[in-house]
Structure 1
Amino acid sequence: MAGGKETTRQRMINIMYLVLLAMLALNVSDTVLDAFKNINDSLDTSKNNVNSSINQLFSAFENSKLKEEPARAKPIYEKAQQAKAAADELDNYIEGIKKQFIKAGDGINPETDDLVNRDNLDIAQDIMINKGEADKLKAKINATREKLISLLDPADRANVAFSLEAKDPERKRKGNWQATYFGEGTPLTAAMTVLTKLQADTKNAEAEVVKKLFGNMDKAQVNLDQFAAVAVAPTSYVIQGQPYTAEVFLTASDSRSTPDITVNGNKLSVKEGKGTYSGGTGSVGEFTWVGTVRVRQTDGQVKEYKTQPQKYQVAKPSATVSSTKMNVIYAGIPNPFTVSAAGFPLESIKASISSGSMSGSNGNYNVNLAGSQVGQEVSINVSASNAGKTVSLGSQKFRVKAIPKPIAKVGGRSGGDVASVQLKSESEIEADLDDFPFDVKFKIQRYKLTIIKPRSDAITISGSGGSFAGPVRAAINSITPGTRVFFEDIVSVGPDGRQNVLPSLAFTVK
């Protein structure tokens, strides 16, 4: 009975009312008048039942929601009170018209419990039409309807279906709303029944509005009481010529809520409705995280919201220091390079060279140039992938230099006095490069060995490769104290393929 839609019983009462009106056109008998009285009593009972259910709704709300969640429930309760006040005002106004009917109809007959002059056809028309009470009533009914609807949320207004409305019939020949219900030929008891029906409609409308208002407490609600302007940019690091973009918008949050907030499954502490995430920075690289916010509904269900994947990059603290005079690449050997760029993950950086070869990835590269490029200049170009586009990060020029000449040595010596036993124990002539940052291997291609023994002619032997073999080995084994040994025309070749003539070695055997 508390809803806006008519029940089966109400529809039957309305049909009976229309039938009785039709019968009135033929004859106003006591039977017809008794029927109106019965309908009036039924409507009055229905109205009282609805009013009782409304009072129960208020009582239940006051003893539960209003005590448990006063901050949220009070605004809803106040709207419900406004609905009750509007409905009571209309109900009391209609009750005032009823009193006029009773007075004009000479009171109530105790035997029939109905109006004494219930069959009078002039009283209702005089009060309602001639004196304008029907016009006032129509205006109050429609004003009350609009007031009740205005108390609802916009989403609830579309579903309002209560019958409280004073609307003119579609067929104009029947007259307006006032004449239809209170016009010429309407018995006083029938007009009284119309007023009771309007009171029942008023209570039904009040009940529907109150139920919808109180029902809002069972909906999940976030009280947005904190607002902030926020700017979110994909990155705060941009390259010259690259556009900087950011989204600027207004955010809102509920400072009194305590939602469950996690990042990658790890729960965050929540303060004033917000969680703060601190990402790990113990290792270098790009990291991705996703935040999840779970809000429990009043029905116990949990609604989940996820953020878009967020990324951040961790880089080692670094500074770039370079010598403009030492930007060189040595031909013939792998030259290691480390390439990085602030604001870009290593895996997105690419490096290439204008000539020669450059291999590697993730910031570590090796450059190899041929000996034929000595004296030339090459460029290393660096680029990075950003938002699906390749961005040039610049280039650096390097001079190609030859590997320095090595020094020839025998037994780690480059000349001087040497014991015959030590010299005889050596097996080769070597080419070493002292104080050079690269571990470079040289090969001896050829040399000449000259041995001058005391009171003997000089003997010169050509050696191939660095090893002491054949005649060279025999000559060295024959040396005696006082012998002078010379290694001359020493030719070495390095990894760049370039030949070098090394300084001669002179030993005196002791």
Structure 2
Amino acid sequence: MSIPKDPRQLMINLMYIVLTALLALNVSAEILEAFFTIDRSLGESSAVVQYSNEQMLQAIREEAEAYEQYQPYVAKAEKLGQITGQLQEQLRQVRADIVEAAGGLDQQGIPARETDKDIPTRILINEGHGKALKTAILQARQDLLSLIENEEQRRRLEASIPLSIPALPPDATQPTWEAHTFQQMPVAAVLPILRKFENDAEVAEAAILNYFLSKMGAQIVMDAYEAVVAAPESYIIRGDTYRSEIFLSAYSSTADNIRISVDGQPLRVEGGKATFTTSPSRPGQHEHIARIELEDPVTGTVQRFERPFRFQVGEQAVAVAADKMNVLYAGVDNPVTISAAGIPSATMRVNASGTDLQPLGGSAYIARPDKPGKAVITVSGEGLAPINFEYRVKKIPDPVLEIAQKRGGTLPAGTFRAQQGIIPVLDNFDFQARCEITGFEVVRKPEQADIAVAHNSGARFAGTARRLIDAAEHGDTYYFNEVKVRCPGDTGPARELNSLIFKIR
């Protein structure tokens, strides 16, 4: 006999074989009770996955509220919920019809005619509901995968979506899937099968929601804003009219697909911005052309933007620039360069509010604000009135969570058991900083056993959580929820990050 490779189909086949043999021997009440235990366990598992799905959907909506370009993912996520919801409603209706025909549920939640084999055969085979379920399951799978536009990504996700109809085994005695699965099966055995497909729909939804979240992180996120005053002339003569454009500019502090050059010379881009410096040897007007090239991370299309600019060189000038990006981060050392040409260094005074500012020698300083908000650096000197430079102080961005250098998906059982804990990684962050995990919840969902939940303090697996990790076997699904993290500069409650989901293979 051919042994199916898919563990879900193997479970169904074994259930059918065992039931057929045991029913011929007058199945005991204990055996039938085992099927209701499986049914309840699958229901509890679905509830856990459903909660995780709600958290991921909320995260997608929050990102879309912050960044308008993510709105299409909200529509897709809601469509995803409609597809799985319609299928689950159809499964629940068939389940309700079977329970009603079997005399309803007693106080223990067991149908009165639990051993009846004619009821499932009549409803699912004779009345055609089994064939309709097969069609609905296959259509739902197709509709779910159609939400993934990228063909290569769609092929990768196909394997992680359990919602499917297995092929008939070579030795099957029935001509159709519905007859092979439901004909002459007692009510007690059919209910867990229907519940399994409800659970498969939840898991499929979780896989695609997790994919949407990963795609949102891969796109350009305009996460920083700055007031810009753009004037064609940066120096005017008394009596002339000064003209400037004032607007709010948004930029990405983490994008790595931006190239900036001035007069054809490339500039180093850090934090989504580049700093242009030059040392003119003569006073007067100087003109340059800035070019910015933006490459689409998905299509590879490059957009180009050009703008000329000019400035006047005088005998005195002051320049203040953050060495790494045009913001200061709370809780870490921010290198800052402050220079004032034409002003004796002995007379230059530098003060700051909203941040601690320590001189390192020459024009180098370290700014270390202790909380988000605003910082002001004031520069003055001989012949120069005090000039204020305002900076936005931001908290360190949320880290991403990794186990075995992965942020979800599948892991071999041995590799998973060898891991010591969850690692918070600050992606594309140019400062020396480290975030600490204060605690999390881990949920183990075996394929054929009850779920287990443990709460862990710190990042390292310990106690009950360590035992759950050590028990990982093929087919298990692990959920890491309510992950709390504290980063340098955090003064309020610990941050709660998105969940991790791993399937053990």
Instruction: Using structure 2 for the length normalisation, give the TM-score.
Output: 0.44
Bigger Cα Rg: 1
Q: Under a length normalisation based on structure 1, what TM-score does the superposition of the two structures give?
A: 0.43
